[in-house]
Amino acid sequence: MSIWRSINERIYWSLLLVFPYGFRRTNRDEMMAVFRHHWELSRFPRTPRVWWLVAVDAAQVLPHEWAFSFAELYRHMKQTNWFTVPAQLANEFKFGLRSLVRKPGHLAIAMLSLALGIGFNIVIFTVINGLVLQPLPFNGASRLAYVVKQHNTEGWITSPDREVVRVLSEEEEFFEVVEPYSSSTLTMLGGSEPRVVFAISVSETFMANFGVTPLLGRGFIPGDSDAAETSIVLSEHLWRSAFGEDRAIIGRTLEFEGEEYLVLGVVAGNFRMAMTGTPDAWMLHGEDPGQTAVLARLTPGTTIQAASSRAAAIGAGLEEQEGLSGEDWTEKVVAPPAFLGNEFTRTLWVLLAAVGLVFLIACSNLANLTLAKGLSRFQELGVRRALGASRLQVVRLFMVESAILSVMGGTLGLLLAHWGLSMVQRIRPAYVSALDFVTIGPRIWLAAFGISAIAAILFGLLPAFRLGGADFNPSLRSGSRFSSGTSGDRKARKALVAAEVALALPLTIAAGLMARTVYESTHQDFGIALDGLISADVPLPDDRYGDEGVRGAFWAQLSDGLEASQLIESFAVTSFAPPRFSILFGEPEVENLTLSGAAQAMVYTIPSPPGYLEMAGTAVLHGRSFVAEDASQDVVIVNEAFAKRFASGADAVGRRLKYAGESDNRWHTIVGVVQNVVGTAGADAADRIQIYSPTTSARGGKVLLRSGAPIEMVLPVLKSLVWAIDPEVPIRQMVSVRKNFMDIFGRQRFAATLFASFGLVGLLLSAIGIHGVVALSVNQRLPELGVRMVFGAKTGNLARTVLVDGLGPVVVGAMIGLGASVALVRLVPEGLVGTPHLDPAMTTGLTLSLLAVGALACLGPLIKAIRLDPATVLRSD
């Protein structure tokens, strides 16, 4: 029965928390005694009797005691002379500052922990806020949505049919505004050299409908499309970069692709469109917007789901009526962030979680530090309490220090965040260009200081509460300079170190896994020899090069020039630069062959002028490469994946295939099989069918070059060659093909780089924590160690004592961290980590290096212990 009694006693003990602090503090021991007394004397049934008594008892007393407690507080506040508070605070501030500065090591570590924890969080949060959370800069942004058409099984997104859009815009119950727009790249003349601008074409009501505000001049208004002159609105950044902020630009005419455009205005800010990025210029589209994105604003109260099902219904209805595109596609309404790509958004959330771990590590460091600091000030606080300082005053002392620390840490954190954001922008995946326009605004400033203050106050108060009410008599009496806390405190500090290690290890392991995935992806055989391969965009303006013969003449002339150049080893004129290929929906049909397995919904077709394969370095495995005569023949070359799917190996050569769809109904003879080339879909599409077709280079647009010289030297050569033929043809995006291939893995590389830096910082912070604990424990044990030395303990024994003390929690933390890693790796989205299981060699390696870091952190205190002079230690206590 005594176990049952002690359980009840414990329950009563914790229930005492309902009483005000003062009452509880003075009486709780005796109240427990009375409780026990009642328990012993109660008749059967004891438990309900006692608890009934206790409940009635508490109900009688509680209101009175709380009223009393508040009355006391009120009296205290009334008695406070508020005029002296500023002076007191100033005094405390001075004192706090002095006590912080007195221990510069502690101050530096606390600030660094706060700053790192906060800085990283600000960076990632800013990115998420700017890209995902913050609405687009439009009127009624929270109700914005895109109307799209999505493939039911593959998830591809494309523009909805024009007819569907027209019907939707009449659905006033669901949609306030439906505005299709299209984007295009145009060549702008008039600057120092031809320049390609990214323009979007909108209706004349678009700007008014969505609240696009002009910085200079005006935006489009109804009637503009009927005006005599075609007009254009520039974006702020084009105006700044190309026209040097010239205010006289309004009313000038600019030439785009041979047409004159009147500049109406400049629109403010970095105006971003979720689907198409940031436009350089805005134009009007006519009746037919062309290939479109459809931006809509829903009516208030309409949910995305409701609008989406309405759109799907309309789409399905129209399909039946008019036989529009097949049943595989569904019209949908989606929120703008979805366009960032779910994978990138998910990556960002994972990064936020990771950075949250870093923050936790920083916090436990802070707690550890303040605990240690509080302990070393035990005596000082004891004197203060003895001289009549109230508990509140002691707590306030800690609070002031925390406040100072939080402001300093917050400031440093913000500086770090500004630097970190620019680093993040530098390593961003190429396709997330909107990231460049993300900035750390005043609201995030406030949040930073808020978080900083919460962290500092929370962890500043922890020791304040532990020490504020502690019994200082023993420490005053003993007068020992070694007194530093109870065994409970030491345990708490060790637990904190273990927690830090347990948090840091999964971060490090995740970083390692990601780094390995990125390494493997970027060092695989791409199917193309990347060394010295350069691609350049040479788009021929349609107005003068609409005719195939004219284009052919241009490319022939350019080819002669390239051939003559010393710098360029080989070249090809084509219309797609790897890893980007033309996409064809549907699998080809092979003559006299039925196929097993699921059909591929998408195949790559690669225009391949004679010599292209040799120049790209793609190996021919079976059959032959293209020759000049093939251009007029119906022949193709396929890749290994095709050969595997349709016929085994060499059997593919000689078979005939027909493309899916209606556009090309001829049979094409397979003349060769080449190795797979990695495409933009990366490893996800390693088995995608690729079909090379021979072309003359009439269409062109991309020039592939191979040269031993760097791009900076090749570019002027190409420029002079092109502009010798036609000075109004632009050259853009001259990049190494290697960079384009690396960009495929941009997201993974981005995540891996950030994870690696988080892991490193986590390790660093843990090392600091370990060092602190070991140093303190060595300090505490100096007399003991001294005595041991006197009695002949070997240096090795002392070292072992210190190491066990320091590394114990590290080992425990590492074990917990390993367990957590096994569990967590499964949660990380696929594609971030190549194989969703731990690689034993790497995991062991990383764990060992973490232990090594821990051992390194013990080194300083260890040396101190070994070099100990027992006589000095014993004399001084």
Partner 1 sequence: MAELPDLTNSMFFILLALADEPRHGLGIVDEVRTQTDGRVKMGPALLYSSLKRLSRLKFVRPAAKPTAEADPRRKYYRITDAGRRALSAHGRLWETAVEIAKNKQALG
- Residue 505 exposure: Cα atoms within 13 Å on the Cβ side: 35
In the complex, minimum distance from the CB of residue 30 to partner 1, in angstroms, rounded to a whole number? 5
Shortest distance, CB of residue 31 to partner 1, whole angstroms?
4
Site string for partner 1, 723-742 (x = CB under 8 A): --------------------
For partner 1, the closer of residues 30 and 226 by Cβ is 30
Tell me: does residue 54 bind partner 1 (CB under 8 A): yes
Phi and psi at residue 622, to the nearest 5°? -135, 160
Minimum CB separation of residue 22 from partner 1 in Å reads 10
d(CA 261, CA 42): 98
CB 439 within 8 A of CB 134: no
For partner 1, the closer CB: 39 or 626: 39
642-661 binders of partner 1 (CB under 8 A): none
Report the nearest approach of partner 1 to the CB of residue 62 (Å). Answer: 8
Smaller CB separation from partner 1, 33 or 804:
33
Q: Does the footprint of partner 1 cover residue 62 (CB under 8 A)? A: yes
Q: Does 576 bind partner 1 (CB under 8 A)?
A: no
Q: How far apart are CA 102 and CA 572, in angstroms?
A: 70
Report CA 310 to chain centroid distance, whole Å.
34
Quick one: which of 10, 25, 37, 491 contacts partner 1 (CB under 8 A)? 37
Encoded tokens for 66:
């709380």
71 binds partner 1 (CB under 8 A): no
Q: Which of 1, 17, 44, 60 binds partner 1 (CB under 8 A)?
A: 60
Exactly one of 8, 23, 308, 577 binds partner 1 (CB under 8 A); that residue is 23
**Binding span for partner 1 by CB under 8 A among 37-45, 223-231, 605-613, 675-683:** 37-45
Complex with partner 1: residue 62 or 874, whichever CB lies closer: 62
Please, what is the minimum distance in Å from the beta carbon of residue 412 to partner 1? Answer: 50
Q: For the residues of 453-514, what is the DSSP string, one character each? A: HHHHHHHHHHHHHHHHTS--HHHHHH--TT----HHHHHHHHHHHHHHHHHHHHHHHHHHHH
Q: Does 567 bind partner 1 (CB under 8 A)?
A: no
Nearest residue (CB) to partner 1, 23 versus 329: 23
Least gap, CB of 36 to partner 1 (angstroms): 9
The SS3 call for residue 150 is strand
Sole residue written with tokens 């003991």: 784
Considering the complex, what minimum distance in angstroms separates the CB of residue 479 from partner 1? 24
Of the listed pieces 34-42, 109-117, 283-291, 718-726, which binds partner 1 according to CB under 8 A?
Answer: 34-42
197 touches partner 1 by CB under 8 A: no
Q: Does the footprint of partner 1 cover residue 31 (CB under 8 A)?
A: yes
Among 65, 255, 634, 728, binds partner 1 (CB under 8 A): 65
- CB of 61 or CB of 628, closer to partner 1: 61
Q: Which of 34, 71, 313, 599 binds partner 1 (CB under 8 A)?
A: 34
Binding range to partner 1, per CB under 8 A, among 50-58, 265-273, 343-351, 671-679: 50-58
Q: What type of residue is 166?
A: R
**CB 810 to partner 1: min, Å:** 42
Please answer whether residues 704 and 533 qualify as being in contact, where contact means their C-beta atoms are separated by less than 8 angstroms: yes
38 in contact with partner 1 (CB under 8 A): yes
The single residue listed with the structure tokens 């280079």 is 697
The single residue among 5, 13, 46, 58 that binds partner 1, judged by CB under 8 A, is 58
Task: Indicate left, alpha or beta for 633 from its phi (over 0: left) and psi (-120 to 50: alpha).
Answer: beta
Burial track 382-403 (b if 16+ CB lie within 10 A, e otherwise)? bebbeeeeebeebbbbbbbbbb
Q: How far is the CB of 488 from partner 1 (least distance, A)?
A: 22
Q: How far is the CB of 56 from partner 1 (least distance, A)?
A: 7
What does the DSSP assignment read for 556-583? HHHHHHHHH-SSEEEEEEES--TT--EE
Which of the residues 606 through 625 are near partner 1 (CB under 8 A)?
Answer: none
d(CA 179, CA 296) in angstroms, rounded, equals: 6
DSSP per residue, 731-779: -EEEEEHHHHHHHHTHHHHHHHHHHHHHHHHHHHHHHHHHHHHHHHHHH
Least distance from partner 1 to the Cβ atom of residue 388, Å: 21
| Run of H or E residues at 181 | strand 175-189
CB under 8 Å to 148, separation ≥6 — which residues? 157, 158, 159, 160, 293, 294, 331, 332, 333, 334
* Shortest distance (Å) from residue 6 CB to partner 1: 17
- Is 402 within 8 Å of 492 (Cβ atoms)? no
Q: Which stretch binds partner 1 (CB under 8 A): 21-29, 434-442, 656-664, 751-759?
A: 21-29
Q: Which residue, 38 or 237, is less far from partner 1 as judged by CB?
A: 38
| Alpha-carbon span 779 to 805, nearest angstrom | 12
Q: By C-beta, is 32 or 312 nearer to partner 1? A: 32
Of the residues 3, 14, 30, 488, which one makes contact with partner 1 according to CB under 8 A: 30
39 binds partner 1 (CB under 8 A): no
Query: CA–CA separation, 153 vs 156, rounded Å?
Result: 8
Ramachandran region, residue 172 (left: φ > 0; alpha: ψ -120 to 50; beta: rest): alpha
Cα separation, 724 vs 486, whole angstroms: 85
Taking Cα atoms as reference points, which of 347, 519, 522, 305 lies closest to residue 432? Answer: 347
> In terms of C-beta density within 10 A (0-12 exposed, 13-18 middle, 19 or more buried), how is residue 283 classed?
buried
Binds partner 1 (CB under 8 A): choice among 5, 13, 53, 682: 53
Size of site (CB under 8 A) for partner 1: 24
Residue among 7, 11, 56, 823 that touches partner 1 (CB under 8 A)? 56
Q: Which residues bind partner 1 (CB under 8 A)?
A: 19, 23, 26-27, 29-35, 37-38, 41, 53-54, 56-58, 60-62, 64-65
